[in-house]
């Protein structure tokens, strides 16, 4: 990502453009799947992922100026750099938006998610979210057990979720990337 202060909903490509592979995201602990957003309740692939990863709770979040109370403030809150103590799992059913994650050099990587994309951010990774210029996303939020939405704004370098994340993923070049083939 570039370092521009322009509208956060823009792509913010570096010039020249630099793209990041799914393997690079996996090295950061970020997983990506492409699923059937039109038939998600009957999608066997989603059912398999939920079973394997223990996702037992879900809800639907509709984010747009017309559907989200206190929309402007919520977007500012989503865009504040933070971590969670649990994975953040989002499956885009409609619309699109950006998840920004920090790499191990403390640079932002912008991930554009659209209908059918499911992204899994590991506990402890610094990240933020914003809509793109469509100003709309409808996403399923998935959780292991009861939902926990608590963001811990940066700095959180001593937080056990952050130290655990770094212990697990920093310098970890031997990850199994088979899950990205889905």
Which pLDDT belongs to residue 10? 64
Residue 29's nearest CA partner among 181, 134, 167, 143 is 167
**Number of Cβ atoms within 10 Å of the Cβ of 34:** 12
E strands, the chain, in order:
31-34, 57-63, 82-83, 88-102, 108-114, 117-121, 127-131, 137-143, 152-153
Q: Can you say which residues are annotated as belonging to the binding site for Ni(2+)?
A: 82, 84, 88, 127
Q: Can you say which residues are annotated as belonging to the binding site?
A: 82, 84, 88, 127
Q: From the centroid of its chain, how far is CA 160?
A: 20
Q: Can you say which residues are annotated as belonging to the binding site for Fe(2+)?
A: 82, 84, 88, 127
Residue 34, helix vs strand vs coil = strand
pLDDT tens track, the chain, 182 positions? 767 777 777 666 767 778 899 999 999 999 999 999 999 999 999 999 999 999 999 999 999 999 999 999 999 999 999 999 999 999 999 999 999 999 999 999 999 999 999 999 999 999 999 999 999 999 999 999 999 889 999 999 999 999 999 999 996 543 443 333 33
Phi and psi at residue 72, to the nearest 5°: -60, -45
Which pLDDT belongs to residue 73? 92
pTM of this structure = 0.87
3-state helix, strand, coil split of the chain in percent (to 5) is 25, 30, 50
Annotate 108-145 with three-state secondary structure: EEEEEEECCEEEEECCCCCEEEEECCCCCEEEEEEECC
Residue 170, helix vs strand vs coil = coil
Where do we find the tokens 């659209």?
A: 114
Residue 138 and residue 170: Cα distance in Å, rounded? 32
CA-to-CA separations, 16 to 1, 6, 13, 23, 98, in angstroms, rounded: 11, 18, 8, 21, 20
């Amino acid at each position: 990502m570039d370092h521009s202060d322009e509208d956060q909903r823009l792509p913010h490509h570096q010039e020249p453009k630099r793209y990041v592979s799914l393997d690079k995201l996996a090295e950061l602990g970020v997983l990506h799947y492409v699923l059937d957003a039109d038939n998600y309740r009957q999608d066997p692939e989603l059912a398999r992922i939920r079973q394997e990863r223990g996702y037992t709770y879900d809800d639907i979040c509709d984010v747009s100026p017309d559907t989200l109370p206190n929309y402007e403030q919520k977007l500012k809150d989503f865009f504040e750099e933070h971590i969670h103590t649990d994975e953040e799992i989002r499956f885009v059913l409609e619309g699109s938006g950006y998840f920004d994650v920090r790499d191990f050099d403390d640079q932002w990587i912008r991930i554009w998610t659209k209908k059918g994309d499911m992204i899994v951010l590991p506990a402890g990774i610094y990240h933020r979210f914003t809509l793109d210029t469509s100003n709309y996303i409808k996403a399923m939020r998935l959780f292991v057990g009861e939902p926990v939405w608590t963001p811990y704004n940066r700095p959180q370098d001593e937080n056990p979720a952050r130290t655990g994340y770094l212990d697990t993923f920093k310098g970890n070049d031997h990850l199994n990337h088979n899950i990205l083939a889905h």
